[in-house]
Amino acid sequence: MAASKKSGGHREMLESMYSVIALVFILVACVELCDAAAVVDVYRLIQYDMSGSPFGSRLASLNHHGASLHFPPGADLSRTVLIIPLRELNITFVREYIDQKKPLGGLLFLLPEVFKSENGGNKQIHEIEKLKSMLAELEKLLIHSNIPYPVYFAFENDDIDTVLADIKKNDAIGQPATATTGGYKLVIPTPEPNKVASPTITNIQGWLSGLKADGEANQLPTIAIVASYDTFGAAPALSVGSDSNGSGIVALLEIARLFSLLYSNPKTRGRYNLLFGLTSGGPYNYNGTQKWLRSFDHRLRESIDYAICLNSIGSWDNELWIHVSKPPENAYIKQIFEGFSNVADELDVKVGLKHKKINISNPRVAWEHEQFSRLRVTAATLSELSVAPEMLEGTGGLSDSRQFVNETAIIRGVKLVAESLARHIYGHQGKNVEIFADGSSLAVSPAYVRSWLDLLSRTPRVAPFLSKNDPFIMALKKELADHTDEVNVQNEVLEGLFTFYDSTSARLEIYQVASVTFDLLLLLVLGSYLIVLFSLLVITTRGLDDLISLFRRPPSRKVKTA
């Protein structure tokens, strides 16, 4: 009994040993090798469906040889990734490839470091402007096409530059990279992109209540300041939208900060409630704004005196536009415009008024204030853009980086809005009173503006890829909570025509590979080496006859067995 137990224990131990050994072998076999020539962070072109029709890059995983633009004419590129630096980009070439649906293994666009969010260098501005317009054109092309292969963006660095130089050299010789000639292999091991299940949009609202006189029964009027905070661009992981609408968010937060200072003291507390709204879903016809307004109490909606929407106020020189949906003759519009233009005159900037009627039957909502206007709330959008952007354009894509945003423009914008609001609230219309004077305790803080602008310029904010509890949303909420009495977060499902797919960023591994031909040749050489070695050894140790008999023996044996 005891002996059998003992042997059983022994067996058990042996079995566990085997499993340990097997585990070790599996571990050894699974050692993932990352000895690539270069590893680069890459950002995938957005993949989405709009009312069922596919757009963007439809594939994510990549395992092809690389080629440069100098590929030999007539080469088969269906298993090749074209690496195109933005500086050498020929937009008509790309357009031709996409429109004619020519087969390609993939596309990799290299963006100059200038567009990197952390980068603050200012090189030749003329060249950068040229690159920016080119990038904007490329982005527009890519967003609106259906591309059946992976498309990635990466930033130029030394590693990838050396690889590209090498590839160019090979292409110049006329040696296209294929399995038989070696070259560089570009590998992105990502799984098939999945649909983003029920993307949420999160609206954040802050409430700063005004001073109610004792015994006053009526509700105080409310002024709303609204900015849409999410972005949309060719590469969701790079869509930081410094100008659209990072500048608007910064301005809103700074205005909230200034008025919280005023409202914290009962003496300077205005007789207006202030409502701050950071809305999501901006690129999708201001879907979030619509949901936010619908959620309002009827009385609250009635009490809104007017709403100011801030949109792209970060790179203007001298002129801002107030976009409205009601005719300029309207008394409220007139009042708003006069308030703004008075302050603008003092600040030595120009403010223009643009009227664009809304068409209820058209689903396109070009400006955020149009959502207010549809619900008969007086509203206006302050923007540097004179014309409404098209759908999915001017929504903070690739080319909208920190580089092109001017802090002083934002500061002037903040001052313009805050000053005209304050004059309206405290009844100083037409008077020349400077409340937020430079140097006073109520001055616009450039440090605050800069730090928020820098943060926003580092944070991609494409709504479907921002979760409800994203640190960025939490940060916005906390910041607004610091400056207002009450903060509410509203989570809604982004409904409508859009479906999004994940895997927005990945790591690209570039390997220098040997060709199959080389390996075959090597095998041949090694085989002959071993045969020669064998023959030499046999001859020197046993003699030539032995070697010959070695090859003779088997047939004679066969004869015997037969």
Partner 1 sequence: MTMFHFFNCAILTFGPHAVYYSATPLSEYDTLGTSIKAALVYLGTALVKLVCLATFLKVSDNEAFDPYQELLKALIGFIDVAGLYFALTQLTHRNISQNHKFQAVGLGWAFADSVLHKLAPLWVGARGLEFTWDYILQGLEANANLVLSISLAALGSLMWLRKNKPKTLIPIIYLCAGIVATMPSITSIMHTVFVLHSH
Minimum CB separation from partner 1 for residue 124, in Å? 37
User: Residue 350 to residues 318, 365, 413: CA-CA distances in angstroms?
Assistant: 6, 26, 11
Nearer CB in complex with partner 1: 141/539: 539
Nearer CB in complex with partner 1: 97/511: 511
Q: Is 512 in the site for partner 1 (CB under 8 A)?
A: yes
Minimum CB separation from partner 1 for residue 150, in Å? 18
**What 8-state DSSP symbol labels residue 403?**
G
Site string for partner 1, 35-54 (x = CB under 8 A): xxx-----------------
Give dist(CA 392, CA 394) in Å, integer: 7
Q: From the centroid of its chain, how far is CA 219? A: 42
> Amino acid letter at 296?
F
* Tokens read off for 7: 């042997």
Give dist(CA 493, CA 468) in Å, integer: 11
Q: Is 542 in the site for partner 1 (CB under 8 A)?
A: yes
Binder among 185, 291, 369, 412 for partner 1 (CB under 8 A): 185
Binder among 13, 91, 523, 544 for partner 1 (CB under 8 A): 523
Nearer CB in complex with partner 1: 17/520: 520
How many residues at the interface with partner 1, by CB under 8 A? 29
Give dist(CA 258, CA 260) in Å, integer: 5
Q: Is 511 in the site for partner 1 (CB under 8 A)?
A: yes
Give dist(CA 458, CA 472) in Å, integer: 11
Instruction: Restricting to residues 187-206, name those near partner 1 by CB under 8 A.
Output: 187
* Dihedral angle sign, alpha carbons of residues 115, 244, 295, 482: positive
* Tokens read off for 359: 């068409």
Neighbours of 211 (CB within 10 A): 15
**What 8-state DSSP symbol labels residue 225?**
E
Nearer CB in complex with partner 1: 178/406: 178
> Amino acid letter at 99?
D
* Tokens read off for 282: 């901006």
Minimum CB separation from partner 1 for residue 233, in Å? 32
**SS3 sequence of 276-298:** EEEECCCCCCCHHHHHHHHCCCH
Across the chain, how many H-helices and E-strands are there?
Answer: 14, 19
Minimum CB separation from partner 1 for residue 162, in Å? 14
Instruction: Restricting to residues 10-29, name those near partner 1 by CB under 8 A.
Output: 28
Among the listed ranges 1-9, 299-307, 466-474, 521-529, the one in contact with partner 1 (CB under 8 A) is 521-529
Query: Contact at 8 Å (CB) between 234 and 139?
Result: yes
Nearer CB in complex with partner 1: 23/475: 23
DSSP string, 321-384: EEEESS-TTSHHHHHHHHHHHHHHHHHT-EEEEEE----TT-----STHHHHHHTT--EEEEES
Among the listed ranges 126-134, 310-318, 468-476, 538-546, the one in contact with partner 1 (CB under 8 A) is 538-546
Give dist(CA 405, CA 40) in Å, integer: 27
Nearer CB in complex with partner 1: 433/531: 531
Q: Is 324 in the site for partner 1 (CB under 8 A)?
A: no
Query: Contact at 8 Å (CB) between 282 and 230?
Result: yes
Minimum CB separation from partner 1 for residue 75, in Å? 21
Nearer CB in complex with partner 1: 17/537: 537
Binder among 21, 24, 172, 514 for partner 1 (CB under 8 A): 514
Minimum CB separation from partner 1 for residue 230, in Å? 39
Nearer CB in complex with partner 1: 400/509: 509
Minimum CB separation from partner 1 for residue 547, in Å? 9
Query: Contact at 8 Å (CB) between 422 and 436?
Result: yes
Q: Is 516 in the site for partner 1 (CB under 8 A)?
A: yes
Among the listed ranges 211-219, 258-266, 322-330, 522-530, the one in contact with partner 1 (CB under 8 A) is 522-530
* Tokens read off for 199: 């993307």
Minimum CB separation from partner 1 for residue 542, in Å? 7
Nearer CB in complex with partner 1: 317/519: 519
Q: Is 530 in the site for partner 1 (CB under 8 A)?
A: yes
* Tokens read off for 306: 């007017």
Minimum CB separation from partner 1 for residue 33, in Å? 4
Minimum CB separation from partner 1 for residue 34, in Å? 8
Residues near partner 1, by CB under 8 A: 28, 31, 33, 35-37, 179, 182, 185, 187, 509, 511-514, 516, 519, 522-523, 526-527, 530, 533-535, 537-538, 541-542
